[in-house]
Amino acid sequence: MRTAAAALVLALTLAGCSIYRTSADLVGFRPGPGANEITVIYAQRPADAAGELEILSQDAEQVRVKVLYRAAGGAQDDVAVEREAVGELDAPLGMRTVVDDDGEIVRVVQ
């Protein structure tokens, strides 16, 4: 079983696919589109797979988020494209602060 897993990892790696997911640089956020949703704008390379928004924690003061994506393998041009990921909160975002996984403030964008 362990050998098979290792072989799978090796195969994926040789195929240029990362088995790990990359945490994206967050550009900003805006509330919505749904009442309890938040849209996070993030930067990645064009060939990277679309990211998924993870709500790491949320309380009355703060919502902590990060976007994970699978990066394209091999050498890559370092051009950035902005993409959006939507996540569901327990309640409307309201006046809560949004921070990334390092605790840095994420700016609201119009």
Q: What are phi and psi of 39, to 5 degrees?
A: -110, 125
Footprint of other proteins on residues 42-71 (CB under 8 A)? 43-48, 71
Taking the complex as a whole, how short is the minimal distance between the CB of residue 7 and other proteins, in angstroms?
18
Q: Which is nearer to other proteins, 44 or 58 (CB)?
A: 44
Burial of residue 16, with CB atoms counted within 10 A of its CB: 0-12 exposed, 13-18 middle, 19 or more buried: exposed
d(CA 79, CA 91): 36
For residues 7 and 105, which CB has a smaller minimum distance to other proteins in the complex? 105
Q: Which stretch binds other proteins (CB under 8 A): 2-10, 14-22, 51-59, 84-92?
A: 14-22
Strand partners, 44: 81
Where do contacts with other proteins occur on this chain (CB under 8 A)? 18, 20-23, 25, 29-31, 43-48, 71-72, 74-82, 95-99, 105-108, 110
